[in-house]
């Protein structure tokens, strides 16, 4: 028929068919089958259409799915779409006394959102994580591990709000304890827990312990995660072991594909600057800009699923031009420095003070 939607691929056809079925359920033409929503949720999620999924959930007739399940699924959609404040508001409604204040998945998710968006929520999520631990009461090791992990990260953020040094040290100590508990519960096999434990030791300037756990992360992940390599090199850099740190970055570059080398190359350039190797740093930054240009072209024609990746590339590119301008200023190469700043500002005139 004229004006009808023609699917471009199998995923779009699957979404169309499932949405037709869901509409028939709403119109009481067919009986409710939970697998329809399960498959539609999967198809829309992997396609990056989480807000469309949220709209489908909102259109379901009351009683089709449990109210608690609807709230939680909507919160997941908003969180996945980057609408963290809206997701947290939904979770707070779900956790109200009128709904289910003991719903552990919602408590954990609320704590996670608070940890990740502390500057926006102004709530580190400590109370949510504590309540999750109380309601679990040792019934599930995996969830208890997650609750301890989130409590540790929340307490670490909470320590930054402390007015007195004594209060800050107390919160940091408790954060370290809960992260170590999470580490024991996961048998030292969860790289995310190890990473944040290492970060907490670094925050408290306990660099030997930080280095130990950073090495554990790289060993556990067999060098497959860039974050582990970066953490290890930065700890060595903090110990003024610049040559060792650069060797770690070079090893990471040998084991990493071009797509993941952005932060590694930038760290390498900064290490070269720290060692006074400014010309080598310029070469490294030039190599990094070439990699970013390839990234921009590759993601430029993709759909909104890659929007965050594109934004990340643009932000990194701006930071690289800033770094490069400072290197040229150190070398008194004013025209080159001006050219770098022009790339950022887009203005013809750059004033130096």
pLDDT in tens, 297-310: 766 555 554 566 67
Q: What is the largest CA-CA distance in the chain?
A: 76
Three-state SS at 30: coil
CATH 1.25.40 in the chain: give the residue spans.
79-187
pLDDT at 348: 37
Name the one residue in this structure whose structure tokens are 């969860």.
190
pLDDT at 347: 36
pLDDT at 349: 41
CB-CB contact of 106 with 95 (8 Å)? yes
pLDDT at 298: 67
Which tokens sit at 342?
């022009």
Single out the residue of 81, 80, 114, 82 nearest to residue 95, CA to CA. 114
Single out the residue of 13, 40, 7 nearest to residue 26, CA to CA. 40
pTM: 0.82
Angle at 74 (CA atoms; ends 71, 78), nearest 5 degrees? 135
Counting as low any pLDDT under 70, the low residues of the chain are 1-3, 298-309, 346-353
pLDDT at 299: 61
Spatial neighbors of 158 by CB under 8 A, at least 6 apart, are: 124, 126, 171, 175
Which tokens sit at 280?
């080598």
pLDDT at 141: 86
pLDDT at 3: 67
Name the one residue in this structure whose structure tokens are 């800033």.
322
Which tokens sit at 283?
């070469």
CATH number given to 79-187: 1.25.40
């Amino acid at each position: 028929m004229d004006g009808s939607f023609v699917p471009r691929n199998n995923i779009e056809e699957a979404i169309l068919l499932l949405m037709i079925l869901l509409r028939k359920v709403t119109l009481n033409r067919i009986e409710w089958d939970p697998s329809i929503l399960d498959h539609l949720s999967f198809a829309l999620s992997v396609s990056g259409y989480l807000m469309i999924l949220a709209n489908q959930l909102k259109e379901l007739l009351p009683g089709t799915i449990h109210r608690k399940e609807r709230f939680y699924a909507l919160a997941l959609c908003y969180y996945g779409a980057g609408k963290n404040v809206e997701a947290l508001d939904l979770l707070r409604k779900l956790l109200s006394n009128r709904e289910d204040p003991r719903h552990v998945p919602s408590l954990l998710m609320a704590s996670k959102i608070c940890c990740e968006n502390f500057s926006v929520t102004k709530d580190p999520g400590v109370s949510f994580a504590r309540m999750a631990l109380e309601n679990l009461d040792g019934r599930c090791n995996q969830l208890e591990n997650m609750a301890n992990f989130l409590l540790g990260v929340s307490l670490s953020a909470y320590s930054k709000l402390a007015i007195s040094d004594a209060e800050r040290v107390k919160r940091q100590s408790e954060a370290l304890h809960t992260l170590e508990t999470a580490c024991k519960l996961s048998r030292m096999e969860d790289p995310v827990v190890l990473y944040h434990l290492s970060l907490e030791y670094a925050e408290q300037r306990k660099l030997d312990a930080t280095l130990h756990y950073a090495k554990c992360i790289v060993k556990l992940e067999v060098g497959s995660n860039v974050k582990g390599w970066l953490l290890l090199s930065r700890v060595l850099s903090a110990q003024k072991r610049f040559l060792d740190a650069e060797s770690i970055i070079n090893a990471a570059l040998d084991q990493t594909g071009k797509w993941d080398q952005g932060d590694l190359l930038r760290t390498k350039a900064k290490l070269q600057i720290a060692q006074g190797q400014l010309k080598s740093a310029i070469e490294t930054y030039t190599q990094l800009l070439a990699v970013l240009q390839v990234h921009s072209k590759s993601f430029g024609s993709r759909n909104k699923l890659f929007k965050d990746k594109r934004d990340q590339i643009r932000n990194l590119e701006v930071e690289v031009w800033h770094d490069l301008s400072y290197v040229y200023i150190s070398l008194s190469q004013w025209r080159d420095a001006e050219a770098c700043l022009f790339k950022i500002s887009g203005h013809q005139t750059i004033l130096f003070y």
